[in-house]
Amino acid sequence: MPENEARADFYCPTCARPVADPLMCGDCHALICRKCGTPLERIDDLGIG
């Protein structure tokens, strides 16, 4: 894996893609997808990373 490639630690189940640049909700501090607003899941928890 190249060193300059961004590593995505989170996955959006709605968009079905890894997310390298999530947004953080200002109220509850959840990480959400920039594209659709769905709460993200950790790739480590899914067993796909």
Average pLDDT, the chain: 83
- Exposure pattern of 3-25 as b/e (b: 16+ CB <10 Å)? eeeeebebbbeeeeebbeebeee
For residue 48, what pLDDT band results from cuts at 50, 70 and 90? low
What residues does each domain of the chain span?
10-46
**Residue 16 has which token pair?**
């079905």
| Cα–Cα distances in angstroms (integers) from residue 35 to residues 2, 22, 32, 47, in the given order | 26, 9, 9, 23
Measuring CA to CA, which residue among 4, 23, 2 is closest to residue 12? 23
Whole-model pTM: value is: 0.71
pLDDT tens sequence across 8-26: 789 999 999 999 999 999 9
What is the share, in percent, of the chain residues with pLDDT greater than 90? 61
